[in-house]
Amino acid sequence: MTDLPGRRPPPLSDKQPSFRDQIENLAHLGRLIAQIWRTSPWLTSASFALRIIAAFQPVAVLYAAKLIVDEVVRLSGLPAPGPELIDWWNAGLLNNIVLFLLLELALVLANDLLSRATGLVDSILSELHSNQVSVELMEHAARLDLWHFESAEYQDRLERARRQAAGRNALLSQMFGQAQDILTVATLAAGLFVYAPWLILLLPLSFIPSIWGESKFNTMAYMMSRWRTPERRELEYLRHIGASAETAKEVKLFGLGDYLIARFKKLANQIFVENRRVAILRASWGTVFAAIASLAYYAAYGFIVWRTIAGEFTLGDLAFLSGSFLRLNGLFQKILLGFTQIAGQSMYLDDLFSFLEIEPTVLAPADAKAFPAPIRHSIAFENVGFRYPESDNWVVRNLSFTLAAGETLALVGENGAGKTTIVKLLTRLYDPSEGRITIDGIDLRDMDPRDIHTHVGVIFQDFIRYSFSARDNIGVGRIEARDDQDRIDIAAEQSLADGVIAKLPKGYDQQLGRLFKQGRDLSGGEWQKVAIARAYMRDAELIILDEPTAALDANAEAEVFARFKGLATNKTAMIISHRFSTVRMADRILVLENGAILEAGSHEELIAKGGRYAELFDLQAAGYR
């Protein structure tokens, strides 16, 4: 079988993207627009339509202002029909100026209405899109392999993708605004071209330096963010352990507060210094580029003033041309700077879409076979070898054993012996690097992982303490049956969690944990009983308990396993534990060392053999004497 590392997507490059790379990243904008359209076709269409209408408003306002100025100049050259306003009105001389003023007022009011409507549509669309991206990110993460989440590199990728899911919403308005500004530029440029076409040639002098600077600094900011992803994750980690309920006791008892604060400050300051340097460079060069733009504008403005003095332009033309050039100058810079910013943003989008392109390697075959229910014969490991991605060390190698249907098998061994890895392979969280695992002769790789998980109940030592109600904490064991109270009651009774829940003020409706208001936290042993109830809730053909009683006292442990032994009748079970009082209840015990089976047999057989198991048993027993 091909080893997993060979099937991994290539790692992200830490080199600064070339100009070609930045252009290629613009393809992500098409994916973003498609994503926005999927979010809400109606709102997306409304946003475009409103902007198209608004794009023609600036030139219309400027032209209305030109008409007003020219009409004022015309009227000021006429003999007055009388000293009062009513005299001018009765003479019919104010009809045009009133009409032009009303036109400009209507355009201004329409602009305000369009602006507010566009802002409303964009804000709703932005929130919906943020939710849509988060859902797609969660859906994709749920498809990925476990090893993706155990890899530091992919944790960095996930962190960057999460940030983009929440932080790219401003790009929606920016992209739509670009389309509006381009239409506005086209209308203004058409008017300017009619009067003084060569003035348009001055515009590049104002915006090209700014474009170059923005492009350079956008790339610098992006690479700074990318290079510092591990440090930012560490900052979040320090924030968490420095101010969370789970770590509060140890932080206080060990006096870690000052150490954590100092470490956070040092790391945060390193990132701050780098960001400050980029910000200062951007601001300094931005000032120079703005001065160039201003010089270009006033050169054009001076030319228009002279042409007006020379009588070639009317005062209305002066107002229209100067206003048009000023707006064009600003819009050209805004558009081209917007393009560079969007290009910069597209680099960030690459963080999101490149994560969404990562494909799982543990896949369901096209013609998946059903999980044997019930298991009639056995589960078999046949010369199984496995090494984790990014590692050359074999965790298990040439591992062969069988777990008969209805048998309870215990795995014993020191930390790192491969016990939990066997569970991950058996539940197809990983595929073997070599060899195969079968259930009633069917290779696990021929089954859908989701089907396998449906028929296997697993409780790990590091189970999740969900900040849900007690009912939901058990119901997650068979999520489609979470509303089946009878099933939840039975599972709680079997795991002895019913006694824990009976003490809660709101019973099954009690919020557990301290994360939310009115939550009630449980002791470690109580949480463990709730977690074990999830395995019973699943009512699976195969039950796996990985250190299931680590937080229970000796009496509670004996009671839980006496109950488990009775309930596991006709069930196939695997137990991992360091407590020999637990494993001795198993039908058969495998002693693992360095990923290989050292000894196998019942408790009595292994004690009689006097080997490694007997040695470990005596060492543990001595602690109770």
Domains of the chain, CATH where assigned = 23-356 (1.20.1560.10), 407-441+450-622 (3.40.50.300)
Q: Do residues 546 and 461 make contact, with C-beta atoms less than 8 angstroms apart?
A: yes
Give residue 75's pLDDT band: very low, low, confident or very high (50, 70, 90): confident
Q: What is the pLDDT of residues 309-347, one digit of tens each?
A: 877 778 887 777 777 777 776 776 677 666 666 666 666
What's the 3-state SS for 90-117? HCCCCHHHHHHHHHHHHHHHHHHHHHHH
Token couple for 27: 């393809």
Give residue 438's pLDDT band: very low, low, confident or very high (50, 70, 90): very high
pLDDT at residue 242 in the model: 72
pLDDT at residue 1 in the model: 32
Q: What is the pLDDT of residues 415-424, one digit of tens each?
A: 778 888 898 8
Please give the Cα distance from 616 to 614 (Å, whole number).
Answer: 5
DSSP 388: -
β-bridge pairing 408-412 and 588-593: parallel
* Side-chain-side CA neighbours of residue 428 (13 Å): 24
DSSP-assigned letters across all residues of 449-511: HHHHHHTEEEE-TT----SSBHHHHHHGGGGGGTT-HHHHHHHHHHHTHHHHHHTSTTGGGPB
Give residue 132's pLDDT band: very low, low, confident or very high (50, 70, 90): confident
User: Does 12 score more than 50 pLDDT?
Assistant: no
3-state secondary structure of 590: strand
DSSP-assigned letters across all residues of 343-360: HHHHHHHHHHHHHHT---
Q: In what order do the strands lie in the sheet with 396-404?
A: 396-404, 378-386, 434-439, 442-443
Query: Can you say how many angstroms the Cα of residue 177 is from the centroid of all Cα atoms in its chain?
Result: 26
* Residue from 587, 139, 161 nearest 354 by CA: 161
Cβ partners under 8 Å of residue 78, min gap 6: 93
Q: What is the pLDDT of residues 469-493, one digit of tens each?
A: 899 989 888 888 888 999 999 989 8
- Which range has the worst mean pLDDT, 301-305, 336-340, 350-354, 430-434? 336-340
**pTM, full prediction:** 0.64
Q: Do residues 216 and 339 make contact, with C-beta atoms less than 8 angstroms apart?
A: no
User: Does 443 score more than 90 pLDDT?
Assistant: yes
Query: Can you say how many angstroms the Cα of residue 117 is from the centroid of all Cα atoms in its chain?
Result: 30
Stronger pLDDT, 253 or 236, i.e. the higher one: 236
Cβ partners under 8 Å of residue 565, min gap 6: 408, 585
What length is written for the chain? 625
The CA–CA distances, whole Å, from 36 to 30, 39, 127, 407 equal 10, 5, 11, 53
In the chain, the amino acid numbered 252 is K
Q: What is the pLDDT of residues 348-367, one digit of tens each?
A: 677 777 777 778 888 888 88
pLDDT at residue 11 in the model: 40
3-state secondary structure of 442: strand
Overall average pLDDT of the 151-179 stretch: 69
Q: What is the pLDDT of residues 388-399, one digit of tens each?
A: 877 788 888 889
pLDDT at residue 185 in the model: 77
Cβ atoms < 10 Å from Cβ of 9: 13
DSSP 156: H
Cβ partners under 8 Å of residue 505, min gap 6: 520
Q: Do residues 97 and 68 make contact, with C-beta atoms less than 8 angstroms apart?
A: yes
